[in-house]
Structure 1
Amino acid sequence: MIASEEEARTYVASLCDAAAIQRLEALAEELKRENQLQNLVAKPTLDMVWQRHIADSAQLLEFCGDAQGPWLDLGSGAGFPGLVIAAMRPEMEVVLVESRKRRVDWLTRATELMGLAKCRIEGRRLESVERFDTGVISARAFAPLERLLTLSARFSTSTTCWVLPKGRSASQEVTGLPKNRRSMFHVEQSRTDPEAGIVVGSGQWSAHR
């Protein structure tokens, strides 16, 4: 379990190169400045930004195996996990969906700051985003699991990897899925929070039972 900022930095560094770490350092500093203007993350978490936000996002890469992009991140907000993934995998197409204008402006500035040419921001509701095939779908605090799956089903394929941080409710939300499709998903322990789980799955979700 990652229990400090030093451990979080070491862990993230094991998953990417030095250039990615520089991008993430720039992101962390810019986040602190922007958080004075709009409440992107809870203020107390800024003192543990690598543990609570960066490593928490980076760990999703471990559950995707060799999955290729595009990586679709729903309700990106402050940029977690989407911006972190884009910073660590700049060669991958990453699409951030966020409907709130001030958050969209922030995501745009952060993407430009880190020079992420393959990171695209969709500043609209997910329902208005044109469909495309995804390699990975992620979401942090976007919607209850079944609604999240229903809203994003049209982007999934038989090979889509789902990585959905769900905190304490992870197992309960998987249990609440229709019995005939529940087996698509399982829960992995978060590396950054002993009480949090990540819903991980593979395959195409149908919006119709």
Structure 2
Amino acid sequence: MIADEQQARAFVAERCDASAMERLGTLVDALREENQRQNLVSAASLAHVWQRHIADSAQLLDHVPRGTLGGALWMDLGAGAGFPGLVIAAMCPEVRVLLVESRKRRIEWLDSMIDRLLLSGCSVAGKRLEVLEGPPARVISARAFAPLDKLLRLSARFSTADTCWVLPKGRSAALELQGLSGKWQKLFHVEQSVTDPEAAILVGRGTVKGQGKGSSAK
């Protein structure tokens, strides 16, 4: 379990090169500055920004087959301040990362960081997921986007049998998973977060097209 900022930096550095660490350092500095203008993240979390936001995002790579990511599409739903999507793009420039975000000021922030970090493979879909059109994704991530059942219904059309799902959750991970229908539930398992002893990640592989418990896919 990562306990402090030094350990968090070391954890991330083991998973990327020096250029990526420079990009992430620039992202952290810009986040601190921008957070004075708009509430991208909680002010308290900035004291532990590498642990709470950078390493917390980077750990998702441990649950995705890295050898299959080159040129593949990683879709990050409700990208917000850019976690995990911007972190993934900064660490893995060979991956096409699509940041899905509908709020105007968040879109402006994400676009500015893509330009500043020279992330040519990263782009923003500035619209609600419900109206988004696009190709299937190799990886779908979402951090505090929506309850699990709703998240899966909205993003089902972007999934295939090869799609990897990495969904950071708090202490509700196991409970949300139990709330799914048996068909969807079998696709996922719970992994412990390395940055928070009370948090977990729902990891799965496959398509979730079909009907969830108490809801209909559209």
Pairwise TM-score range, normalised by the shorter structure: over 0.9
TM-score normalised by structure 2 residue count: 0.94
Report the Cα distance in structure 2 between the residues aligned to 1:116 and 1:40, rounded to whole angstroms: 20
1:114-133 to structure 2, matched below 5 A, reads: 114-133=117-136
Identity of aligned residues (%): 58
Is residue 20 of structure 1 aligned with residue 20 of structure 2?
yes
CA contact under 8 A between 1:151 and 1:207: conserved in structure 2?
no
Give ranges in structure 2 of 5+ residues lacking alignment: 213-218
Counterpart AA for 1:63 = H
Report the Cα distance in structure 1 between the residues aligned to 2:79 and 2:183, rounded to whole angstroms: 30
1:167-206 to structure 2, matched below 5 A, reads: 167-206=170-209
Report the Cα distance in structure 2 between the residues aligned to 1:155 and 1:127, rounded to whole angstroms: 11
The one-character-per-residue Cα deviations of 1:7-63 (angstroms, maximum 9, x if unpaired) are 000000000000000000000000000000000000011111000000000000000
Counterpart AA for 1:48 = H
2:114 corresponds to: 111
1:79-98 to structure 2, matched below 5 A, reads: 79-98=82-101
Report the Cα distance in structure 2 between the residues aligned to 1:141 and 1:131, rounded to whole angstroms: 22
Count of aligned positions: 209
How much has 1:207 moved relative to structure 2? 3.9
How much has 1:208 moved relative to structure 2? 2.7
Counterpart AA for 1:30 = A
The one-character-per-residue Cα deviations of 1:101-158 (angstroms, maximum 9, x if unpaired) are 0000000011111100010100110112112111100000000001100000000000
How much has 1:179 moved relative to structure 2? 1.6
1:47-86 to structure 2, matched below 5 A, reads: 47-66=47-66, 67-68=68-69, 69-86=72-89
Counterpart AA for 1:202 = R
